[in-house]
Structures are given as structure tokens and as C-alpha cells.
Structure 1
Amino acid sequence: MPQIALVTGATSGFGQSIARRFVAEGWSVIVTGRRKDRLDELVAELGGAAQAYGLCFDIRDEEATRQALASLPPVFQGVDALVNNAGLALGTGTADTCDLAEWRTMIDTNINGLVTITRLMLDGLIARRGLVVNLASIASNWPYPGGNVYGGTKAFVRQFSLGLRSDLSSRGVRVTSIEPGLSESEFTLVRTGGDKAAYDKLYQGASPLQPKDIAETVYWVASLPAHVNINSIEIMPVSQSWAPFQIHRETTAQPER
């Protein structure tokens, strides 16, 4: 029987490439997302029902997540690797200009959705001595203007991964946090509200990471021997490095006290 990976957020970008990479190595995959048309296309591309299975639901909805997992046919119920890829960023403004609803959407998706599906699948992963791969970000470690809540959610993902690692080390379950830097995908169009000019400007001349690069990294982690755990990987394009420390310089006189 082939091993099975469940990849969340598989309707675009990293998730699609990760699913393709696992199938190329003989795994079966369960792909999840909110866009049924894209899921159906991906399942067909990956070989149909014999190789892939689509679950269409909103990961922010606990009951929908429970029902989706419960609906898996027997042949897809023994998951060996959970890849928590579903996530998003909304907005690029400073904290005082941000939309509170967008903050809550990021928290509900990047934190609540991730911990819900992880907890619901944990007993099975323990039974199979499986693997959890969580997609965090370099924003887990390195703040930047406009990162605010998005960076906070990814810092949670990184720390949650380390906590899982600590709790599960005696149960044979491997846990990895993957923390990409500048990466070209639909993620940025979502963040900017579909602003293609901003998308093009961000990536121009930068040779950013591509979804295939992240897929290769995730599969490498999964392909290692069962006694080897990669705790975290911070991965950037060669063109990206750490920015100078931010310094605000006063341009007006200080108010009198």
C-alpha cells in the first residue's frame, strides 16, 4: 500500500506543488481547499481516485473539518504525513491602518484551522508513527513593517511545531516547521487584494523561491529515515538576506512636556 499525505490548501501555490511532488514519488494524496473546481482538476491531474482524493471545506470551520475527515473512504484513512500548508496574509499596512476583520481571518486560518486539523488527525498519526510538516515563514523570526498579525500567526506556527515535537518525541511522530522567505505564488495576490502591479514589483529581479522549491523541501523532510527529525528549516532565495535594523529618525521637533 502506498503511503498517504494530506495536504491542506492545495488549490494553488505551495499546496499544489507539494501534492504533485508526493504523487511523483508513489504516494497517494488527500488534497483540501475551498475551491471545488480546482480540487477536481488537481485530483484528475494526479491520477484520479486511485491516487488522489479531494476534500472541499473551509479549514476555519471546525465542524466542516470534522465532517470532511470522517467522509474519507477507507483506502484514504491511514494518513502518514500531514502537511499544514493552508494559510494566508491579508494587507500590507501598519497596525494602526489595518482591518480588524482581516486580522481575525488570518488568526482563524493560520492558527485555529491548523491546530484543529492537527488535533483531529493526531491519534492516527501517532498510531502510524507519522509526520507533521507545518508551513510557517521567515516572518516567524524576523519582523518587518506591515507584518504585524501575519508574522504573529507564523510565530505561533513555529512555536506550536516545537511544542508538538517535544510532546511527540516519545511517540515516534516527526514534526518539522518550514519557514520560507520571498516566494512567488498566488499568496501575494491574495495579500494585496489582486494588485498585479504590486505583485510584479515585489518579485522583479529577485529570483524568488518557487512553489516547486518548497515542495522539494517538504518531500525531502518526509523521505528521511524515521529516526531523523528536522526541527525547522529557514529557506530564502539567494537574493534575500536580513534587512538592516529599522531606525525611525525624528523629522520634527519633540513636543514640549
Structure 2
Amino acid sequence: MLVSNGAYVSILDINPPKDTDKLSSERIRFFKVDITDPKSVSEAVESTISWTKETKMTLRGVINAAGIGSIGRVLDTSKTPLNLDLFKFTMEVNVYGTFDLTRLVCQHLSSVPQEGPDNECGIVIMVSSAAAYEGQPGQAAYSASKGAIRSMTLPMARDLGYHGIRVNSIAPGIFESAMTSKLSAKARLSLEKELVFPKRFGEPKEFAECVKWMIESPFVNGECIRLSGGARLSSRL
């Protein structure tokens, strides 16, 4: 959606997109990065900046969508405690990685020419989750990481407002994705029952539309917007 509206998009990921044909666009560039490796993140940001200079474009924002899901109860049925490495890795990807990429990008955003009547420099969008509000059983690590994203949003907006940078987060509910495509019919039906309206999983286009709205609405700042079809996660899986 961003590319179709004229944006240049730098994709930072550990694997290239599956629909690699889209990379043929002169306005899309892929940089391999391990979000848990500060050196890798820094190099990808610098490569992106070099690309903006080549194209004579200006960096205007970052969308932090890297994340992993993790499942594990604090104590399992045999009373074995949750593996601490799983908790740490979840935080490394979902929280540390998001924060690291944001701080490095904002260093550049703060120096770009200001735009519009508000003298804005750019925007940060992070991805939280409905689990930040109602974590389900086995989601202690995941909910903690997504709750951290939600909690960082306002103080980061306050820190970066001085530099003309807005910060918002999106907390998606149940969306069509590579992860949910693997659900059984029974599991899908159980999740659909939690939806208020519409009674279906969210579509990627609807997430993209929310991103576009945040970019184009200057007064939206310091907010975490739920995108969930009115669903509230239940206390059971």
C-alpha cells in the first residue's frame, strides 16, 4: 500500500519476502538483518540511508513489524517452569529489536527537513497486540513483550516530539497470516467466536490502511490503536 501511494520502502528482515516479484520495483529494497543483532540492525539502517541518498529521497519513518509468537505456561502440567531462554528470546526480538531499530532510525529522522505546517520530521509505528491487554494462558512472555511496546509508545512520543517525530502503535487482534493459516478448523472457529463484528479474521490490507491513516493524520500521536474487530481474548485457549 505504501509503494502504491508513491513511497520508497526499505524491507529489513532475516528472510526476503515470499512474493519476491515485488522486489523488482525500483522503489523497494531488501536488506537482510537479524533484529536481535545490534550490528546487523545498524548496518541495515546505514544501507537504507545510503539508498535514500542514491534515490534523492528522504527517510520519513519506520514501521516496526518484526516479532515472534511464543507459547509456554509459567509452570506446565508437570510443574516444570517456563524455559528462561524462551522468555529472553521473545523479549530480544519483540522489544529490544523494536527499540534498537527505532532509536537508530530516529537519529536520522531528527535531522531531515521538516514538512507541513507542524514542521514534522517523521513517524514511528510499532506493532503491539491484543495480547498486551488480555493475554491468554501460555502467553506470559508474548504478552509481556507486546505490553512493553504499548507502554513505550507514549513516553517515546514525549521524548521524540521535541524532534518533530510522532510515535504510535497498532495492537492487532486475530489476522489472516502465515501463523493463523496453520490453525485447525476447530481452532479457527473458537477464535472467530470471540469476534464481535465483522465475524472474520482481519485482512492484511486493513492493517495497511491503519498504517496509512496514522501516517496521514498529524494529530494521532502517542496512541496504541486496537485493530481487533471488537474482540477481547478469552481466558482459555
Whether TM-score is above 0.5 comes out as yes
Residue in 2 that maps onto 1:22: 2
Q: Which moved more, 1:31-40 or 1:53-62?
A: 31-40
CA distance in 1 between counterparts of 2:189 and 2:85 reads 27
| Residues 224 and 195 (structure 1), Cα distance of their counterparts in 2 relative to 1, 3 Å cut | closer
SS at match of 2:157: helix
Match of 2:97 among 113, 118, 134: 113
Alignment of 1:74-85 (within 5 A): 74-75=53-54, 78-85=58-65
1:149 counterpart SS class: helix
Q: Which residue of 2 aligns with 1:216?
A: 209
Task: Specify the alignment match of 2:11 in structure 1.
Answer: 31
Q: Are 2:139 and 1:147 aligned?
A: yes
Task: Say if 2:232 is the partner of 1:241.
Answer: yes
Is 1:170 the equivalent of 2:149? Answer: no
For the structure 1 residues 230 and 75, does the alpha-carbon distance in structure 2 shift closer, same or farther, using more than 3 Å as the test? Answer: farther
| Local SS of the residue matching 1:169 | helix
How far does residue 196 in structure 1 lie from its aligned partner after superposition? 5.1
Superposed CA RMSD in Å reads 2.6
Query: Which 5+ residue runs of structure 1 have no aligned equivalent?
Result: 1-20, 248-257
Contact 2:170 2:225 in 1 (8 A): yes
CA distance in 2, matches of 1:221, 1:233: 10
Moved over 4 A (4+): 194-206
Counterpart CA distance in 1 for 2:212 and 2:40 is 28
The corresponding residue for 2:196 is none
Contact 1:32-1:39 within 8 A present in 2 as well:
no
Task: Tell me which residue corresponds to 2:28.
Answer: 52
Q: What is the aligned partner in structure 1 of residue 23 from structure 2?
A: 43
Structure 1 37/122 Cα, relative in aligned 2: closer, same or farther at 3 Å?
Answer: closer
Given that residues 31 and 39 in structure 1 are in contact (C-alpha distance below 8 angstroms), is that contact kept between their aligned partners in structure 2? Answer: no
Equivalent residues of 1:40, 1:54 under 8 A apart: no
Percent identity between the two aligned chains: 24
| Paired residues of 1:88 and 1:187 also in contact (CA < 8 A) | no
Please say which of residues 120-129 and 95-104 is displaced more in the overlay.
95-104
Point out the more displaced range, 142-151 or 81-90: 142-151
Work out whether 1:156 is the aligned partner of 2:156: no
Once the two structures are superposed, residues 165-200 of structure 1 have per-residue CA deviations (whole angstroms, 9 ceiling, x without a partner) of 1112222111101111122212346xxxx6656764
Q: Partner of 1:5 in structure 2?
A: none
Question: What TM-score results when the alignment is normalised by the length of structure 2?
Answer: 0.79
Partner of residue 118, structure 2: none
Q: Distance in 2 between matches of 1:131 and 1:203?
A: 33
In the superposition, the TM-score normalised over structure 1's length comes to: 0.74
In structure 2, relative to structure 1, the CA distance for the partners of 1:144 and 1:199 (3 Å cut) is closer
